[in-house]
Amino acid sequence: MAHMLKPALLGAALTLVAALALSAPAAAKDRFVVDLVNEPSTLDPQLQWNPDSYYVYRNIFDNLVTRDDKGEFAPQIATAWKVLSDTQVEFEIRDGVTFHDGSTLTPEDVAFSVSRIIDPKLASPQQGQFDKIVKAEATGPHSVVLTLAGPYPALLAQLVKLSIVPKHVVEAVGNDAFNLKPVGSGPYKFDSWQRGVAVTLTRNDAYWGTKGPFATAVFRAVPDAATRLADIQAGSADLAVSLDSDLAGQLEASGKGKRLYTLTERLAYLRLNPTKPPFDDLRLRQAVAYAVDKEGITEGILGGLDKPIGQMLTPAHFGWFEDIPGLPYDPDKAKALVAEVGGSPKVEIATGAFFDQRVVQAIQQELADVGFDASIKLVDTPTFLKLIQQGAQGGPALAVSRSSCACQDADGALYQLFHSGNPWTIVENKELDGWLDDARATLDPDKRLTDYRKISTFIAKEIPVVPLFQTVAIYGAAKPLQWTPTPNESLFLNRMSWSE
Amino acid sequence: MTAFLLRRLGQALLTIFGVATLIFFLQRLTGDPTYLLVPDTATQADIEALRHALGFDRPLWVQYLSFLGEIARFDLGRSVVQNVPVADIIASRLPYTLALAAGALLVACGIGIPVGVALALGRDRWTARILAGLVLAAQSMPTFWSGILMILVFAVTLGWLPPSSTGGIDHLVMPSVALGLLSMATFARVTRTALLEELSKDYVRTARARGAATGRLLLRHLARNASIPIITVAGLEISNLLAGAVIVETVFAWPGLGQLTVQSILARDFPIVQGVVLLGSFVTVALNLLTDLLYTVVDPRIRLGGAR
């Protein structure tokens, strides 16, 4: 048996080795290697939405607008924009931008890209981020007009994520083929996708903006975090995503690399269902807020890089206020409140497998310490998402979750979670609905801020949620890499540099 | 013989059908992949639209029948996450899994069988005791631990081998050893037991009495007679190697089917999990059949399908 199989298997091995020998590493920093967790799900920027995909495709494609390293809006394909009316915005399109196939990027391509993502036929998971856009038209040799269903102040924040795809290529080859061989206008060109192994990009030397520092960039799939760390230490990777604070500490201590990190716009929070006992009693919601030691969690468990927050927003969002801190950690007050209500209220903390279970266990302990009869209900991620997607009435009494709108704007961060009628909504309140709708319907930033102040104050007082902490993104990097990670978890190669 | 083959073939088909049904329904107990595919702020309409596009809004029995229809046409469907034919994805991963299994088998047999022989022939010497201890140690180490340990020693500290991923044959060394060491112990044990049993038989004593050297005895008679249990184990071990590769492939970022399976289970990419499981059950059933057939080649006394 073994004797018969071995030659066949060895043959397969040798073929494989021959095929792979071509991809041996080159010298110098011509070749930049990034360790992702998984390979991208897709390289069509208008389909799947997950970090391992957009880390890669945001280098292949330009967006209509972008955010600079400070988080401010900056021109990209659109050089300027003008509000024509409450429902129309005109974008001026950059001249002289070419796609990787040599063709010129035109306003038609921009209009096509918008129309494509809002077309229900594409069934893009990102559709909801752009569903306020009704129509996109090329109105001149350099202009595109977007027509909106109503005034929409978060438009630019959402357009940061809208990649421009070439109309003629997508129409000629179809969606499936475009996904396999994407053509964009970004600083890097698609070179090859060795399925399961790596995606290779090469520098676009004709790029209109800042050119990339590396001739080629390889994005590999390395699922195990300890292995990603070892890759940096051994010098076989230059940048690794998603390290935890322990691994990042090991990397610093070894002297064979460095950690880079940034606070993201992703936040962790507790959902308290005001329609279900025991949390229909405000005193018990307050008790939970007093009982949880956010600083203890970020410092003691998470390594000190995550940041405790008091709002359902982070400083990276438009609409965040310095002076709304939420209730402080005060276990004695919590105990007193629980005692006042009487008994030992039974609560079950629903949580998904994606959440750091050490944090959930700490919360369970803290709730038990102040008099709750707390237990944990851990389910797999899709089941959890389904659980918290039942609206205000159907949701669990208590759950711990994470959220990010990837838009750094209060509208994206709050609307789905606090406006009635949405699947994810935590609370149904007419007043809250009014402020959310009002803030969404005006383009005046001051008016919006007034609304968001009311909303955040309401949340701090009524406590349908207890915001926990703003999560950090930690990267492992080779020492010569110079790069500032951004809150929206992008990985723009042309904003990096290399100095030995 | 023909009747035997037909019967076994029928059993094989039934087994695969059972596995297909089981994996189809088990997976659907674990949640709806649509939730994992949409952004945090997706609207109800987004979720419904995507669910419809993926076909998960159909009644379960409709999905099941369409799945059975697809496998009957040898169509494994398309990945829910990547929207690429499952067959293409599996085909791209299969060579890596085969290469790793071959490397591991090479390590397992190449070390395991000689060690087993040494253990059997020198069973009272101290070297054999040390060897037995080493075999036990190798078998006891969990691969997720031995794997990361090897990476730290040979890649990070010594810099002899690449820590992970693919490239040249050097990338295959550590995963093969990590995976092979587990089976090595099994091969050593089985070889030792089989040889000891043969050594105690009359024909060996007779041969020895006639002055035959141990080496000649080993090659001429013992090896062949002892190979039956070793072949049985090899057949079982190949399935084990394919299954055990899940951890090794994840630790070493080796892009084989094991890693694919884990990722697909986490992402609830049902069609890929179904495809891999079907392939796995097919290979296991085929290997079992092949092992049975090989017995007749090695030992002509065995007749398949005869009166038992």
Three-state secondary-structure class, residue A307 = strand
Between helix A430-440 and helix A445-462 the angle, nearest 10°, is 160
| Consecutive H or E run containing A352 | strand A346-352
Asked if the Cβ–Cβ distance from A2 to B109 is below 8 Å, we say yes
Nearest chain B CA: its distance from A214 CA (Å): 20
Q: What percent of chain B has pLDDT over 70?
A: 96
Strands A31-36 and A239-240: parallel
Q: Which amino acid is at B242?
A: L
User: Residue B105: its chain A contacts at CB < 8 A?
Assistant: 2, 5-6, 9
Q: Which of residues 221-250 of B touch A (CB under 8 A)?
A: 230-231, 234-235, 238, 250
| Consecutive H or E run containing B216 | helix B214-217
User: Residue B252: its chain A contacts at CB < 8 A?
Assistant: 227
CA distance A26 to B5: 54
DSSP calls for B104-122? HHHHHHHHHHHHHHHHHHT
Three-state secondary-structure class, residue B171 = helix
CA distance B233 to B187: 7
User: Residue A49: its chain B contacts at CB < 8 A?
Assistant: 37-39
Tokens standing for A331?
């276990």
CA distance A117 to A45: 10
Nearest chain B CA: its distance from A369 CA (Å): 32
A325 touches chain B (CB under 8 A): no
B159 phi and psi angles, rounded to 5 deg: 70, 25
Express each pLDDT in B134-168 by its tens digit: 888 888 888 888 889 999 999 888 888 888 888 88
Q: Does residue B77 contact residue B86 with C-beta atoms inside 8 Å?
A: yes
Asked if the Cβ–Cβ distance from B231 to A197 is below 8 Å, we say no
Nearest to B143 by CA among B179, B107, B171, B109: B179
Q: How far apart are the first and last CA of chain B?
A: 13
| Consecutive H or E run containing A265 | strand A258-272
Q: What is the pLDDT along chain A (500 residues), one digit of tens a residue?
A: 334 334 444 444 444 444 444 444 434 589 999 999 988 988 999 987 788 899 999 999 999 999 988 888 999 999 999 999 989 999 999 999 999 999 999 999 999 999 999 998 888 888 888 888 999 999 989 999 999 998 888 899 899 989 999 999 999 999 889 998 999 999 999 999 988 889 999 999 999 999 999 999 999 999 999 999 999 999 999 999 999 999 999 999 999 999 999 999 999 999 999 988 899 999 999 999 999 999 999 999 999 999 999 999 999 899 999 899 889 999 999 999 999 998 899 999 999 888 999 999 999 999 999 999 999 999 888 888 888 888 888 889 999 999 888 888 999 889 989 998 888 888 889 999 999 999 988 888 999 999 999 999 999 999 999 999 999 999 999 999 999 998 888 899 999 999 87
B82 Cβ contact list (under 8 Å, min separation 6) = A41, A42, B89, B269
A355 Cβ contact list (under 8 Å, min separation 6) = A268, A400, A401, A402
Three-state secondary-structure class, residue A215 = coil
Q: How confident is the model at residue B1 (pLDDT cuts 50, 70, 90)?
A: low
CA distance A316 to A264: 7
Three-state secondary-structure class, residue A450 = helix
Asked if the Cβ–Cβ distance from A197 to B81 is below 8 Å, we say no
Strands A73-75 and A239-240: unpaired
- H-only helix segments in A311-467: 331-341, 357-369, 381-387, 391-394, 410-418, 430-440, 445-462
- DSSP tag of A376: E
Tokens standing for B200?
């105690």
DSSP calls for A386-408? HHTTSHHHHS-SEEEEEE--SS-
pLDDT at A329: 95
Asked if the Cβ–Cβ distance from A47 to B83 is below 8 Å, we say yes
| Consecutive H or E run containing A79 | strand A78-85
User: Residue B142: its chain A contacts at CB < 8 A?
Assistant: none
| Nearest residue in A to B292, CA atom | A1
User: Residue A1: its chain B contacts at CB < 8 A?
Assistant: 231, 234-235, 290-291, 294
Length of chain A: 500
Tokens standing for A200?
């290779």
For A485: left if phi > 0, alpha if psi spans -120 to 50, otherwise beta; the answer is beta
Q: Does residue B64 contact residue B24 with C-beta atoms inside 8 Å?
A: yes
B116 touches chain A (CB under 8 A): no
- What is the average pLDDT value for chain B, to the nearest integer? 84
Q: Residue A397 burial by CB count (10 A; 0-12/13-18/19+): exposed, middle or buried?
A: buried
Q: Residue B307 burial by CB count (10 A; 0-12/13-18/19+): exposed, middle or buried?
A: exposed
How many Cβ atoms from other residues are within 10 Å of residue A70's Cβ? Answer: 8
CA distance A413 to A340: 34
For residue B91, CA distances in Å to A40, B5, B202, B256, B260 come to: 18, 28, 51, 10, 12
Nearest to A335 by CA among A327, A346, A344, A326: A344
CA distance A257 to A4: 47
pLDDT at A4: 39
User: Residue A15: its chain B contacts at CB < 8 A?
Assistant: 95
A268 touches chain B (CB under 8 A): no
CA A327 to chain centre: 27
Asked if the Cβ–Cβ distance from A234 to B31 is below 8 Å, we say no
Tokens standing for B37?
């595919």
pLDDT at A424: 84
Q: How confident is the model at residue B83 (pLDDT cuts 50, 70, 90)?
A: confident
User: Residue B291: its chain A contacts at CB < 8 A?
Assistant: 1
> What's the pTM?
0.85
CB pairs under 8 A between A and B: 210
Rounded CA Rg of chain A = 25
| Nearest residue in B to A417, CA atom | B41
B59 Cβ contact list (under 8 Å, min separation 6) = none
| Consecutive H or E run containing A189 | strand A188-194
| Token pair 């050097």: residue | B170
B241 Cβ contact list (under 8 Å, min separation 6) = B100, B101, B104, B105, B108, B179, B183
Q: Is the ipTM of this complex over 0.90?
A: no
| Token pair 């965040």: residue | A320
Q: Does residue B50 contact residue B281 with C-beta atoms inside 8 Å?
A: no
Asked if the Cβ–Cβ distance from A224 to B231 is below 8 Å, we say no
Q: Does residue A298 contact residue A268 with C-beta atoms inside 8 Å?
A: no
Express each pLDDT in B220-256 by its tens digit: 777 777 788 888 888 778 777 776 688 889 899 999 8
A160-183 b/e with 16+ CB inside 10 Å = b? bbbbbbbbebbeeeebeebbbebb
B193 touches chain A (CB under 8 A): no
| Nearest residue in B to A125, CA atom | B38
Asked if the Cβ–Cβ distance from A236 to B163 is below 8 Å, we say yes
Q: Does residue A214 contact residue A30 with C-beta atoms inside 8 Å?
A: yes
